[in-house]
Structure 1
């Protein structure tokens, strides 16, 4: 039997809901000049904080709203990494002038797909909170992108092996300072400015790490120390691989900031 139109429930229009301020990192900017380019909008919004990037495409998460003909309507959405950037944009950008237009900046609202059910709002917000937290955690595990040909920061640290026998320090622990002073003097005078020296007195391979201020000094250190004889010991020297552990307590070799 055919169902009459009277028996069918009326479809509800998708409703709007607000994400709690503590979790909403999106702003909606309106009254932008119609000739605003995507690059100009990104440059404008970067003034107030780090923008989110799509992890798959690497592009900034912004949206420039267009009409049916593809022309920019003057409205755009921007997603920041941190909520603090939203607060800054609301304070400084809202009511500011951009290319002779007084623009508006406000927290973004989102439209639900399908029927709006107020009972689902807490569930939806919890889902968005978890999703946002994952994004932020992933973004803050970010490392600066290297420029073409740029060397790894870890290569400023040189690992020198076979410098000493750990047993030496059982009887004369003060010898540790003598070794460090010798290495500091030799490296700083012949290679370049040294930031830090670590001597791993319990390591069976007699390891010392030397961190320099630049890569050139580290390279010179390897040339100076590799294959060199010291106290009847043949040394080896190489860049730190960023992974190998040297401390007896199985702690990672600290990478300088």
Structure 2
């Protein structure tokens, strides 16, 4: 506060301006202009400066506030200092710890736990891969090799630690094969393709009795004793088991990279592409003798009917993007364009 002599001098200087008054609360001379802006006289500099009130302070804080920054969080140096105090005086933790630090840690815990109750949120359910198909209605004399030859056309079959294909033939209570089997693929995508191509198909061409039922495995099928397979007791994997699994996966990946069978379902080879290899990549299938020009003349609505029938039939093999009917072709030509080449090859095999 200014001295009495200085106060009297300022009072005499400010007496001519009725807007200037002396505040007994702050002990300073204050001034309010016509716009309502309040100023106070700084005796050290001899100038009028804006008064800093709560509203002005909040406005300044809002102007410099950064999105994503917790303004209430205690600064790192403060937390570090309080942590040092706790180490030096472990008995006075509750007394030395400021309420702001407690609040900051509480907020961090709530954000970490995802709730205000301190309870950890439930972990999201992890979707396990299902790379197996369950096959039923198999002939009583079927063999693992026969199943491997049939199902390996639609994907790489996984191998076990003995380099044997993972194909299981189920038996009844007397130990006899009951016509059901499990085939495990290396890739999940092979399951849908195998179901699409082999369900209700003949394992042995020309033998109606060998029609199979193929569906996605549910891991609850019957075992040797006729009861559903129970979940095996969990056994922690040892380092040796992990090494064996790593070696087996490495072998499977190597086989997958080298896989290029004559049906064209594997990855393309590095050899120069021939006409036949390019055909395997094609997504368009050409169908002939689907109609005659006379049929179209007699029934103009046949064009739309044929296109719908062909699309409906081919969509059981894969996604169809376009169907074209060439109404001037004497050979009755239609084309079907699939979204991928695998579906196109499947269409060729079936039709």
Q: Shorter-chain TM-score category? A: 0.3 to 0.5
Q: Work out which of the two has the higher radius of gyration on C-alpha atoms and give 1 or 2.
A: 2
Q: Which has the higher helix share?
A: 2
TM-score, scaled to structure 2? 0.27
TM-score, scaled to structure 1? 0.37
**Larger RCO of the pair (alpha carbons < 8 Å, separation 6+):** 1
Q: Which has the higher strand share?
A: 1
